[in-house]
Structures are given as structure tokens and as C-alpha cells.
């Protein structure tokens, strides 16, 4: 095989492998190079062996004492012809070998054409595969976003279900209390109904007693009226006694006057009239005694009249009071009848209420049982929602992992595609500043830890703790890095520090959103962290490297 053909084939393979990078053909270049080297070595060895053999035969043919140099011409010619025949055989063998090598070269050309055709097919497949991967990446990204939105929605629904379950628990507890209260109310209303019935019976008895009292008061009124009439008659009779006593007193006065006249006439008569004088004196004394007694009787009669008048007035007041009492008793009787009627109605209403409350109590018991079933169903629903959320989060994690893998395949980052880490540390990220590289690796580890925690559906508290570690160590790294370049003449120090402050503020904002529940750790956040860190390490940080001293590259101030 010619050197030019080998170079042509080798260049073609180099272009195919390094320019187009078809999958599965990377092995072809070293394999073909090795085959060419082996073929060239074999040809060189074979040619060298043939040349050596020809030289040996030539040397043997014309060596000192060889038949070709001694003897007659015929023998020498025959000997030379035999050696030429041997040489022809060697040349024929070499020609056959060359023919075989040419056949191999033709076969290689045929295979190269086949490989070229295969290369075109693989190139087309690679282009279509890239399009499919890009489409799959787009679909996965959209699906991942939708799943993330669905997960957020399901989390909200789960919160609603949990709130509903808590509300149903409270409602069920309240219904049990209402049922108990209804039962107690039913018992109390029943007791009130029975008490009202007893009160109604007592009121009926009271009504009868009032009717009896009213009858007695009416009788008392009649008696007092009669007493009033009698006292009025007694007053009139007492007045008449006064008139009689006045007549008696007048008679006594006249008798006394007559006795005085009789004494005067007896005194005129002398001794003849002495006996008459004694009689007249006795009559006078009797008249005086009568007048004294009459006066006492008159005083007594006046006292009786005064007392009688008072009694008459008292009886009159008593009569009026008895009349008023009778009227009030009549009204009280009417009121008692109304009260009795109202109490009967109240007893009937309470009986109805007791029946209704009893039915309500029974319904409350049924409702409480239904609420218990609803609460049980709600608890089962909440448990199912938790299982569904876990499955959805697992599916979301798988979708995001698939999206990350497809994205790595699209970009040709096969190391990232086969890695289980979210951020893969590569030599491209090395700044060759010992302290800075070590801290950058730690930041990458924290982002990977956050990704792993999210992929395994760790709790929100765990994710917040990891993010807090990332935030704190980021601030520490920025402080160390700023000490490093602010001690130099680095012109972009102020802008570099401003970028640091913005990133720390962004981490603080994300942390607050996680605490308040308005955000979650998602692929968007992780992608933001990854892109920012990689771009900052590869784009921003190298700007201060020319200003560092040699010892800065070697020393690790270790934190």
C-alpha cells in the first residue's frame, strides 16, 4: 500500500473523527493507524528479507570458489540460470505478495467508501438525534415546569385538605358537643315540661284557692257592709241617747229649779212648810245627783258617740277596703285563670319543644356519626394526598434528572450526563489559587447536596438548613476572596464586590421565601445557582488573577 494512500485515508479519518465526532467511530482512527503501521512494518521486513536473500544469492553466485566463477562456461551458465530461476521465484513470490497487498489496498478502499457512507448515515442520524434530544429537552423542560406547577398546586390542595380535615375534626367535635348539649337540652326541656305540668296543676289548685278566697272575701264584704249598717244604726242610736240625756238633764234642771222654788215657798211657810222644805231639799239633792249622773252619762255617751263615729269610719274604710279587696281578688282570680291558661299552653309548648329537641338530639347523633365518617374519609384523602405528593415529587425529581441528562447530551457534556452530581467539577473551573479552588469546590458540594436533598424529597426544614450553609459559606468565601484581591491593584474590585453583595442578597431573599412558604427548592433555583457559580468562576474571577502575587497561588489560608 502506498504512503500517499495511507496519508489520504488517515487524513479523512482524522477529519471525520475530530471535526464531526460521530458516535461509535472514535476507535477507527487509532485502529487504522495501527493497521497501517503493522502493514508498513510487514512490507518493510518482507522487502528487507527479499533484498537480503537476493544479496546473499548474488554474493553466493559470485563468491570466491563459487561454480559461477570456476569451471567451463556451460557449467557456469547452468549454475547461473538455476540461481536466476530461484531469483525469479523469489521475485514472483514478492510480486504475489505485492498483488495481495494491492488487493488489501483495494479492500481498504472499498471499506473506506463503506465507512464514508456509514459516516454520512451516522452524521444524519447524529443530526436527527440532536434534534430529537433538543426536542426531548424542550418537552422535558416544559413537562418539568408543568409537573412543578402541578406539585405546587397539589401541595396547596393538600394544605386545603389538611385544613379541611382539621376543620372537620373541629366540626365533628363541635357536633358531638352539640349532640350532647341537645341531649341535655332535651332532658332539661322534658324536666321543664314536667315542672310546667306540675306548676299547671299547682296553678289550678291556686285558682281554686283564689276562687275560695274570693268567695270568702265576698262574704266578708257583705258582713262588713252589714256591720257598717249596724254601726250607722248604733251611731244614730247613740245620737238619740244624747237627745234623751238632754231631755233628762233638762228635767233635772227643771226639778232642781222646782226644788229651789219649793224650798223658798217652804221657808215662807215657816214651820208648816218645814217638812215640805225637807222634801224639797231631798228633791233638789236628787235632782243634783241626777244632773251629776246625767252629766257622767252624757260624757260616756259622748265618748261612745266618738268611738262609734270612729268605728263607723273604720268600718266604712274596712268596707271600702273589702270592696277593693273583692275587686282585686276578682282580678287576681282572672289573672290566675289567665296564668293557668298560659301555663297550660306553656306546658303544651314545652311538651312540643321536648319532642322536637329529642328528635333534634337523635338527628344530632346521626349527624355526628355522619361527620365522623366524613372525617374518616377526609383523613384517608389526606393520607392519599400525602402519598400522591410523594409520588409526584419523585416523578418531578425524575423528570428534572432526565431533563438535566438530556440537556447534557444536547450540549455534549457526556461526563455530566453520566454523573449523579448536579454540578460536575472540571479542570476548567480551576483558577490554580489553592484557597479559592478549595472554597469553590465546597460551594459546588453544597449545591450538589441541595440537589440531592431535593431529589430525595427531604423536608423543607432540611432544605432551608442546607441553603443556610450555602449562604453562610458563600459570604465567608466572598470575604476571603475580597481580602485577597483588595490587597492588590485590581481595578475591578468595587464592581466585583458589588456582584458578591447582589448574590448574597439573592440567597437571603430565597431563604425568606422558603421560610414563608412562597417558594420551594426547584430546578430553576438550582440551575440559577449552578449557572451563576460556573459563570462567575470562569468569567468574573479570572479578572483578578493577573494582579495576584506568586505566593497567593500557592498559599491556602485554610478555612
Handedness of CA 152, 158, 160, 162 (dihedral sign): negative
> Which 8-state DSSP code applies to residue 160?
H
Kindly report the backbone phi and psi dihedral angles of residue 521, in degrees, each rounded to the nearest multiple of 5, phi listed first.
-75, 115
Distance CA 427, CA 450 (A): 23
The 3-state DSSP class for residue 26 equals coil
Listing DSSP states for 297-311 in one string gives HHHHHHHHHHHHHHH
Q: Are 503 and 460 in contact (CB under 8 A)?
A: no
Q: Which residues of 97-126 are buried (b: 16+ CB within 10 A; e: fewer)?
A: eeeebeeebeebeeebeebeeebeebeeeb
Q: Rounded CA gap, 37 and 257, in Å?
A: 202
pLDDT at 24 (0 to 100): 45
Q: Is the pTM above the cut of 0.75?
A: no
Report d(CA 473, CA 487) in Å as an integer. 21
Q: How far apart are CA 524 and CA 510, in angstroms?
A: 12
For 132, the grid coordinates are 430529537
User: 14-31: per-residue pLDDT in tens?
Assistant: 554 444 444 444 555 565
Separation CA 87–CA 146 (nearest Å)? 83
Return the C-alpha cell found at 541: 474571577
Residue 67 to residue 288: CA distance in whole angstroms: 237
DSSP string, 262-299: HHHHHHHHGGGGHHHHHHHHHHHHHHHHHHHHHHHHHH
Residue 520: closest CA among 449, 472, 463 = 463
pLDDT at position 517, please? 78
- Whole-number pLDDT of residue 539: 93
DSSP state of 543: G
Residues in the chain: 559
Rounded to whole angstroms, the Cα distance separating 462 from 452 reads: 11
308, 238 in Cβ contact below 8 A? Answer: yes
State the Cα angle at 98 between 94 and 102, rounded to 5°. 170
Residue 321: how many CB atoms within 10 A of its CB?
Answer: 13
Q: Cβ distance 542 to 431 under 8 Å?
A: yes
Q: How far apart are CA 547 and CA 545, in angstroms?
A: 5
Residue 457 DSSP label? T
Cell 299547671, residue?
200
Nearest one of 389, 386, 387 to 148, comparing CA atoms: 389
Q: pLDDT at position 137, please?
A: 62
Question: What is the C-alpha separation between 528 and 534, in angstroms, rounded?
Answer: 10
Query: 3-state secondary structure string, 374-398?
Result: HHHHHHHHHHHHHHHHHHHHHHHHH
Distance CA 525, CA 447 (A): 10
pLDDT of residue 133: 63
Quick one: pLDDT at residue 543?
94
In this prediction, residue 1 carries a pLDDT of 45
> Cell triple for residue 312?
263607723
- Cβ of 226: how many Cβ atoms within 10 Å? 12
pLDDT in tens, 60-95: 555 555 555 555 656 656 666 666 666 667 667 767
Cα 553 to chain centroid distance, Å, stands at 52
For the residues of 476-495, what is the DSSP string, one character each? HHHHHHHHHHHTTT-TTHHH
Mean pLDDT, the chain, rounded, equals 73
- Decide: 134 and 407 in contact? Cβ < 8 Å: no
- As a three-state string, the secondary structure of 430-473 is CCCCHHHHHHHHHHHHHHHHHHHHHHCCCCHHHHHHHHHHHHHH
Closest CA to 248 of 287, 197, 191: 287
The CA distance from 206 to 339, in Å, is 10
User: Buried (b) or exposed (e) across 378-417, using 16+ Cβ within 10 A?
Assistant: beebbeebeeebeebbeebbebbbebbbbbbbbeeeeebb
- Counting Cβ atoms within 10 Å, is residue 502 exposed (0-12), middle (13-18) or buried (19+)? exposed
Sign of CA dihedral 318, 320, 323, 328: negative
Give pLDDT tens digits along the chain (559 positions): 455 445 545 455 455 444 444 444 455 556 556 666 666 666 667 666 666 666 666 665 555 555 555 556 566 566 666 666 666 676 677 677 777 777 776 776 777 677 777 777 777 766 766 666 666 666 666 666 666 666 666 666 666 666 666 666 777 676 677 667 767 776 776 777 677 677 667 667 766 777 777 677 777 777 777 777 777 777 777 777 777 777 777 777 777 777 777 778 777 777 766 676 777 777 767 777 777 777 777 777 777 777 777 777 777 777 777 777 777 777 777 777 777 677 777 777 777 777 776 777 666 666 666 766 776 776 777 666 666 665 665 666 566 566 666 666 666 655 555 566 788 888 889 999 999 999 999 999 999 999 888 878 788 899 999 999 999 999 999 999 999 999 899 999 999 999 999 999 999 999 998 888 777 777 778 889 988 999 999 999 999 999 998 777 765 555 4
Amino acid at each position: 500500500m502506498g504512503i500517499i494512500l495511507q496519508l489520504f485515508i488517515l487524513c479523512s479519518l482524522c477529519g471525520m473523527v475530530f471535526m464531526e465526532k460521530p458516535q461509535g467511530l472514535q476507535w477507527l482512527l487509532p485502529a487504522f493507524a495501527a493497521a497501517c503501521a503493522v502493514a508498513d512494518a510487514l512490507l518493510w521486513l518482507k522487502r528487507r528479507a527479499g533484498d537480503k536473500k537476493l544479496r546473499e544469492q548474488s554474493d553466493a553466485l559470485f563468491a570466491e570458489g563459487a561454480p559461477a566463477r570456476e569451471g567451463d562456461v556451460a557449467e557456469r551458465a547452468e549454475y547461473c540460470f538455476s540461481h536466476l530461476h530461484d531469483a525469479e521465484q523469489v521475485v514472483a513470490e514478492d510480486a504475489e505478495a505485492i498483488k495481495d497487498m494491492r488487493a488489501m489496498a483495494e479492500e481498504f478502499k472499498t471499506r473506506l467508501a463503506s465507512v464514508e457512507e456509514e459516516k454520512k448515515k451516522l452524521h444524519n442520524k447524529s443530526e436527527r438525534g440532536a434534534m430529537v434530544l433538543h426536542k426531548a429537552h424542550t418537552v422535558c423542560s416544559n413537562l418539568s415546569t408543568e409537573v412543578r406547577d402541578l406539585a405546587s398546586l397539589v401541595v396547596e390542595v393538600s394544605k386545603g385538605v389538611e385544613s379541611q380535615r382539621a376543620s372537620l375534626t373541629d366540626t365533628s367535635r363541635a357536633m358531638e358537643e352539640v349532640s350532647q348539649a341537645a341531649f341535655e337540652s332535651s332532658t332539661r326541656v322534658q324536666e321543664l315540661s314536667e315542672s310546667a305540668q306540675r306548676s299547671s296543676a299547682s296553678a289550678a289548685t291556686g285558682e281554686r284557692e283564689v276562687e275560695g278566697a274570693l268567695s270568702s272575701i265576698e262574704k266578708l264584704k257583705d258582713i262588713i257592709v252589714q256591720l257598717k249598717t249596724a254601726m250607722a244604726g248604733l251611731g244614730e242610736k247613740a245620737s238619740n241617747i244624747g237627745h234623751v240625756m238632754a231631755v233628762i238633764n233638762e228635767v233635772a234642771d227643771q226639778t232642781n229649779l222646782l226644788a229651789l222654788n219649793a224650798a223658798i215657798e217652804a221657808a215662807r211657810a215657816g214651820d208648816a212648810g218645814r217638812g215640805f222644805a225637807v222634801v224639797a231639799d231631798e228633791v233638789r239633792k236628787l235632782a243634783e245627783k241626777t244632773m251629776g249622773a246625767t252629766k257622767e252619762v252624757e260624757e260616756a255617751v259622748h265618748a261612745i258617740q266618738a268611738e262609734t263615729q270612729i268605728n263607723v269610719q273604720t268600718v266604712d274604710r274596712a268596707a271600702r277596703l273589702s270592696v277593693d279587696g273583692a275587686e282585686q281578688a276578682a282580678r287576681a282570680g282572672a289573672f290566675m285563670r289567665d296564668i293557668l291558661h298560659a301555663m297550660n299552653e306553656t306546658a303544651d309548648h314545652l311538651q312540643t319543644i321536648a319532642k322536637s329537641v329529642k328528635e333534634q338530639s337523635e338527628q344530632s347523633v346521626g349527624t355526628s356519626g355522619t361527620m365522623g365518617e366524613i372525617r374518616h374519609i377526609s383523613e384517608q384523602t389526606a393520607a392519599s394526598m400525602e402519598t400522591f405528593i410523594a409520588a409526584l415529587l419523585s416523578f418531578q425529581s425524575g423528570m428534572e434528572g432526565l431533563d438535566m441528562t438530556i440537556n447534557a447530551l444536547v450540549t455534549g457534556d457526556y461526563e455530566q450526563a453520566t454523573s449523579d452530581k448536579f454540578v460536575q467539577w472540571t479542570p476548567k473551573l480551576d483558577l490554580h489559587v489553592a484557597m479559592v479552588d478549595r472554597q469553590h469546590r465546597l460551594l459546588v458540594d453544597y449545591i450538589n447536596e441541595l440537589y440531592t436533598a431535593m431529589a430525595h424529597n427531604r423536608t423543607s426544614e432540611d432544605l432551608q438548613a442546607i441553603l443556610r450553609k450555602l449562604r453562610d459559606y458563600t459570604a465567608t468565601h466572598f470575604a476571603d476572596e475580597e481580602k485577597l484581591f483588595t490587597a492588590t491593584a485590581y481595578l475591578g474590585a468595587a464592581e466585583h464586590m458589588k456582584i458578591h453583595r447582589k448574590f448574597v442578597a439573592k440567597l437571603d431573599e430565597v431563604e425568606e421565601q422558603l421560610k414563608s412558604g412562597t417558594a420551594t427548592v426547584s430546578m430553576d433555583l438550582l440551575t440559577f445557582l449552578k449557572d451563576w457559580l460556573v459563570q462567575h468562576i470562569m468569567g468574573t474571577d479570572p479578572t483578578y488573577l493577573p494582579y495576584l502575587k506568586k505566593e497567593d497561588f500557592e498559599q491556602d489560608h485554610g478555612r
